[in-house]
Chains A and B, each alone.
Chain A
Amino acid sequence: MSDPVLLVLASLAEGDKHGYAMMEDIERFAQVRLGPGTLYGAITRLEQRGWIKPVASKDERRQPYRITAAGREHLTSQLDSLNRVVKTGLSRLKEA
């Protein structure tokens, strides 16, 4: 899976993170290193859609983000759909 929007949401589902922390976390759990442009493209879209929001921080330059209720809902629906595809694919591979 390499959709940056889902990767960012999945990262923030664990807790608030700033850009670099998200980048490291995503590399750990998905083995995907997002470039700064790709990461902030996803952050911009997610904030515009109301799926994440900035949260107050002492370090103004390292802005943390939090997943919103709408963001959780979207992530759940996307992962459910992905889960169905994975389950179907794996069972068909076993049958073949």
Chain B
Amino acid sequence: MKTLLRILARLYPAAWRKRYGAEFEALIEDARPGLGGALDILKGALAMQVTSWTPSRVLALSAIAGVLIAIGIAFTRPPKWASTAVIQTDGPAPDRVQTVAQTALSQNALLKILQTSDIYRNNLKTLPIEDVLELFKRDIQVSLAPGDKGNIFQVRFTYGDPRKAQQVTQALADNFIESNFTRGGPEAFRLVEVANLPQQPVNPAFSGKIATAGLAGGLLLGGPFAFLLYRRRRPPQ
């Protein structure tokens, strides 16, 4: 207990210990506090540390805490992988793709992929099938290929398993081509790039963006506190 109390007494700010340290230790020797007293010393040390903080220290600590919390949260998120397949149309893609998507991404078509690909297994245990299909739809992106003349579009699917992401993306791309064919579309759809196997997750545990967001969040929360501290400590005019 003696050692613990000595360690706790060292948690006080250095300047405070220089002034009161010896007499504080003498008090601890005389009073022989128990666990309650140890907690009281810890509380006192923390309070004294906080009162000795300067506005710049508050800002620096909140920024560091923000970055650490953001990284901590990022590490708890499961990684997600995005696979992309590219399809070319003979004519302008936008209108035709929208029409074909009604069949290619219909409830029935998605349900078939859901059943054959064994995805969203945990969600299927807890949610109704309609909600799982909504989740599935949210993870699908159909867009015109960047920088293209308008006759190439890409199908992208994001999931927590890179192989499943690739498998489902390919099934979705096949759905588009088949649906266009069965709908008797005047322009053919051709698969230009098969679904790729993603090598990097789309939400890496650590990135500059995450660190910047944490830094900004920390400064935003610590800023008002630092300002109040500055106003309080400023000598009267």
* Chain A contacts to B: CB under 8 angstroms: 18-20, 23, 35-41, 43-44, 60-63
Contact = CB atoms under 8 A, between A and B. Distances in A.
B216 interface: no
Given A18-B26, A20-B31, A63-B23, 14 more contacts: A18-B23, A20-B26, A20-B30, A35-B36, A35-B44, A36-B27, A36-B41, A37-B41, A40-B44, A41-B47, A43-B20, A44-B16, A61-B26, A63-B22
21 contacts: A18-B26, A19-B27, A20-B31, A35-B36, A35-B39, A35-B40, A36-B28, A36-B31, A36-B40, A37-B37, A37-B43, A38-B44, A40-B27, A41-B47, A44-B48, A61-B22, A61-B23, A61-B25, A62-B23, A62-B26, A62-B30
A59 B39 CA distance: 28
Tell me the interface secondary structure of chain B in the complex.
helix
B45 interface: yes
Contacts of A61: 22-23, 25-26
Q: How large is the interface on B (under 10, 10 to 19, 20 to 34, 35 or more residues)?
A: 20 to 34
Nearest to A21: B30
A63 B27 CA distance: 10
Contact of A19 (B24, B37, B42): B24
A23 B37 CA distance: 12
Tell me the interface secondary structure of chain A in the complex.
helix
Contacts of B26: 18-20, 61-62
A59 to B, nearest CB: 8
A23 B36 CA distance: 15
Closest 9 CB pairs of A and B: A37-B44, A35-B40, A20-B30, A61-B26, A19-B27, A37-B40, A63-B23, A37-B41, A41-B44
A51 to B, nearest CB: 16
A20 B55 CA distance: 35
Contact of B33 (A18, A36, A44): A36
A23 B29 CA distance: 13
Nearest to B47: A41
Given A20-B31, A23-B31, A44-B16, A35 B41 contact: yes
A44 B27 CA distance: 14
Interface in B28-73: 28, 30-31, 33, 36-37, 39-45, 47-48
